[in-house]
């Protein structure tokens, strides 16, 4: 059997990666590793970093002549994944097409019902499922025997049932980075002094015990946390240093500090082995104490991300379901200043039931965090709706998603509000705030920082226009940005800009 695994041409549609860099796709690299271990021939095609167009992708498929073509699918890139499946079928109808990834797990029936070129959707973790699926396809066995997939039977979607998640992650081989064109990933971290650090990503745990209403992670990975052993984590870090000359490690875990005892062990090993490495990770700040941060900085921490999501306590606790005291955030940025690492806070505007006054509380806490620690970085976004989340149900109730909406029909995107240049074809959620109010909130950072808008970004915006509604929203944001910058020029009050001490490139 020959299996060809793709990252679609659009990649993962995260705006920060559209500016020259990207990270190796750990999901399909784990799949490739278990397939290779099972003796299956695998071809990895990250069409995004290889800059392949559809003609070149067609040639890759014809040249490799796969039995199975698979694609990793996010909500942002789903239409590219669907097109990939259709292309494979047009080359040879006998090619078995498989899609996996977070979008497929969350919109399983919708995908299989509407996208006839997709033979199977893999739900959740795929490493065990893909082996059983390959064997079933190879032997001609009934797909119903493969747990954790959905396929069509008699024209209707059939889910084969839940597959138990992998409890011991150490049983998995390292991601098959050796099968990927690692030299094509221009992944580096730019330091305050302008120096670039070669970066690599690693994922040491799976799962999320929390319940933010906009997040799909608990469905994809489960609520129970599972992690590689500290010894296994260190082996992979050393591999990244020795083979790929990594100078910076991006821990891609949703919450690296879910188990502080385990994290202390990892840090002790990094320190004892004197690994010359810097790193960054995402924190759950209500699980952090200062001794842990002190050890993390000693081991190489320079960048700590954390989610606040909303400034208003009611919205944060009752709507987002993130139940921590804002004093924890202020304490975290204060400790960051004392210990010498850069904190980066994530915040979202346009939550369900959020009022204009409540949204402005988010601006207020941003200013307070920057006052406590001027080096604090801020990342803000408008709320997006993803399938399978509690927010999706709310969006249907509010009419944000119209009756009969399908994630698989591109024409349905004309019925919702999207800004493709920023976040692909993912619907924006707007309830109580007007577009002008949202623009005032979102563009304040751009106006305060005074950063110019690049021509490449303008071109991407123009290319993404799909309707008059999109034109209207971009116009609103442009007008508000100009107004805010003029206001700042003539204002005697000078507020400090958000500083970009560390950046991804």
Query: Domain holding 498: CATH number?
Result: 3.80.30.20
Q: Are residues 145 and 192 in the same domain?
A: no
Residues 6+ apart with CB under 8 A from 184: 46, 49, 50
CA gap 168, 176 in Å, rounded: 19
Name the CA radius of gyration of the chain, rounded: 23
Q: Are residues 68 and 214 in the same domain?
A: no
Q: What is the pLDDT of residue 458?
A: 59
CA gap 56, 101 in Å, rounded: 23
Summarize pLDDT for 352-388 with one digit per residue, the tens: 999 999 999 999 999 999 999 999 999 999 999 999 9
Summarize pLDDT for 112-160 with one digit per residue, the tens: 999 999 999 999 999 999 999 999 999 998 999 999 999 999 889 999 9
pLDDT surpasses 90 at 68: yes
Domain membership flag for residue 102: yes
C-beta neighbour count of 95 within 10 angstroms: 20
Residues 6+ apart with CB under 8 A from 246: 198, 199, 200, 237, 240, 277
C-beta neighbour count of 1 within 10 angstroms: 16
Task: Give the total residue count for the chain.
Answer: 505
Average pLDDT (310-334) is: 95
Q: Are residues 148 and 191 in the same domain?
A: no
pLDDT surpasses 70 at 460: no
Q: What is the pLDDT of residue 500?
A: 43
For 436-450, letters b (16+ CB in 10 Å) and e give ebbbbbbbbbbbbee
DSSP code, position 498:
P
Q: Are residues 125 and 9 in the same domain?
A: yes
Q: Are residues 273 and 394 in the same domain?
A: yes
Q: Are residues 150 and 195 in the same domain?
A: no
pLDDT surpasses 90 at 443: no
C-beta neighbour count of 414 within 10 angstroms: 13
Reading the block at residue 262, the tokens are: 């385990």
CA gap 74, 300 in Å, rounded: 31
The torsion angle over the Cα atoms of residues 186, 188, 193 and 195, rounded to 10 degrees, is: -60
Boundary of a domain, candidates 122, 139, 159: 159
Domain membership flag for residue 116: yes
CA gap 266, 268 in Å, rounded: 6
Boundary of a domain, candidates 159, 178, 212: 159
CA gap 132, 139 in Å, rounded: 11
CA gap 476, 419 in Å, rounded: 13
Boundary of a domain, candidates 159, 178, 211: 159
Residue 30 belongs to what H/E stretch?
Answer: helix 26-37
Three-class HEC string of 418-474: CCHHHHCCCCECCCCCCHHHHHHHHHHHHHHHCCCCCHHHHHHHHHHCCCHHHHHHH
CA gap 395, 368 in Å, rounded: 32
CA gap 103, 101 in Å, rounded: 6
CA gap 167, 426 in Å, rounded: 32
Residues 6+ apart with CB under 8 A from 39: none
Domain that holds residue 31: 2-159
Domain count, the chain: 2
Q: Are residues 83 and 232 in the same domain?
A: no
Residues 6+ apart with CB under 8 A from 474: 419, 461, 465
C-beta neighbour count of 245 within 10 angstroms: 9
Q: What is the pLDDT of residue 17?
A: 46
Q: What SS3 state is found at 388?
A: coil
Q: What is the pLDDT of residue 16?
A: 46
Q: What is the pLDDT of residue 441?
A: 92
Residues 6+ apart with CB under 8 A from 368: 330
User: How much is the mean pLDDT over the chain?
Assistant: 90
Q: Are residues 244 and 97 in the same domain?
A: no
Q: Are residues 133 and 205 in the same domain?
A: no
Domain membership flag for residue 180: no
Summarize pLDDT for 277-309 with one digit per residue, the tens: 999 999 999 899 999 999 999 999 999 999 999
pLDDT surpasses 60 at 450: no
Q: Are residues 202 and 139 in the same domain?
A: no
Q: What is the pLDDT of residue 414?
A: 87
Residues 6+ apart with CB under 8 A from 498: 370, 376, 377, 378, 445, 448, 449
Which CA distances in Å does 77 have to 118, 181, 218, 243? 15, 21, 21, 31
pLDDT surpasses 90 at 223: no
pTM: 0.91
Q: Are residues 346 and 263 in the same domain?
A: yes
Q: What is the pLDDT of residue 446?
A: 59
Q: What is the pLDDT of residue 505?
A: 46
Tell me which residue of 25, 451, 500, 444 sits closest to 303, measured CA to CA.
500
Question: DSSP string spanning 87-137?
Answer: HHHHH-TTSEEEEESHHHHHSHHHHHHH-TT--EEE-S--HHHHHHHHHHH
Average pLDDT (479-487) is: 84
CA gap 319, 214 in Å, rounded: 10
Count CA within 13 A, CB hemisphere, residue 314.
8
Query: Domain holding 29: CATH number?
Result: 3.40.50.280
Percentage of the chain beyond pLDDT 90 is 75
Q: Are residues 261 and 401 in the same domain?
A: yes
Reading the block at residue 288, the tokens are: 């952090």
Average pLDDT (458-466) is: 63
């Amino acid at each position: 059997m020959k299996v060809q695994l793709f990252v679609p041409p659009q990649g993962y549609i995260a705006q920060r990666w559209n500016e020259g860099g990207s990270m190796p796709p750990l999901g399909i690299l784990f799949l490739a590793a278990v397939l290779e271990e099972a003796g299956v021939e695998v071809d990895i095609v990250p069409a995004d970093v290889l800059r392949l167009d559809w003609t070149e992708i067609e040639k890759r498929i014809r040249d490799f002549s796969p039995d199975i073509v698979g694609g990793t699918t996010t909500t942002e890139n789903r239409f590219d994944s669907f097109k990939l499946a259709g292309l494979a079928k047009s080359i040879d109808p006998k090619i078995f097409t498989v899609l996996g990834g977070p979008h497929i797990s969350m919109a399983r029936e919708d995908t299989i019902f509407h996208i006839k070129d997709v033979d199977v959707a893999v739900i959740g973790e795929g490493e065990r499922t893909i082996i059983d699926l390959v064997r079933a396809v190879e032997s001609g066995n009934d797909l119903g025997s493969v747990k954790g997939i959905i396929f069509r039977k008699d024209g209707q979607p059939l889910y084969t049932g839940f597959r138990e998640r992998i409890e011991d992650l150490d049983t998995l081989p390292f991601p098959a980075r050796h099968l990927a064109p690692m030299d094509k990933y221009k992944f580096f971290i730019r330091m305050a002094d302008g120096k670039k650090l070669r970066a690599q990503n690693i994922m040491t745990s799976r799962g999320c015990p929390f319940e933010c209403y906009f997040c799909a992670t608990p469905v994809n990975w489960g609520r129970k946390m599972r992690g590689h052993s500290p010894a296994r984590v260190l082996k992979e870090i050393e591999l990244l240093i020795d083979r790929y000359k990594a100078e910076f490690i991006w821990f891609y875990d949703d919450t690296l500090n879910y188990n502080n005892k385990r994290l202390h062990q990892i840090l002790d090993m990094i320190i004892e082995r004197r690994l010359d490495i810097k790193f960054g990770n995402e924190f759950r700040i209500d699980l952090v104490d200062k001794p842990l941060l002190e050890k993390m900085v000693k081991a190489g921490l320079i960048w700590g991300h954390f989610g606040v999501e909303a400034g208003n306590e009611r919205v944060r606790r009752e709507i987002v379901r993130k139940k921590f005291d804002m004093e924890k955030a202020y304490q975290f940025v204060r400790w960051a200043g004392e210990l010498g690492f850069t904190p980066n806070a994530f915040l979202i505007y346009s939550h369900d039931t959020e009022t204009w006054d409540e949204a402005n509380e988010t601006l207020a806490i941003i200013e307070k965090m920057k006052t406590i620690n001027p080096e604090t970085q801020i990342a803000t976004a408008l709320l997006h709706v993803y399938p399978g989340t509690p927010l999706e149900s709310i969006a249907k109730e509010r009419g944000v998603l119209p009756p009969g909406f399908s994630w698989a029909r591109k024409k349905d995107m004309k019925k919702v509000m999207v800004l493709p240049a920023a976040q692909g074809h993912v619907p924006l959620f707007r309830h109580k705030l007007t577009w002008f109010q949202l623009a005032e909130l979102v563009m304040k950072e751009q106006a305060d920082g005074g950063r110019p808008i690049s021509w490449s970004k303008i071109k991407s915006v123009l290319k993404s226009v799909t309707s008059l509604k999109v034109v209207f929203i971009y116009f609103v944001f442009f007008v508000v940005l100009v107004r805010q910058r003029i206001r700042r020029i003539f204002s005697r009050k000078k507020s400090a800009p958000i500083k970009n001490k560390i950046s991804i490139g």
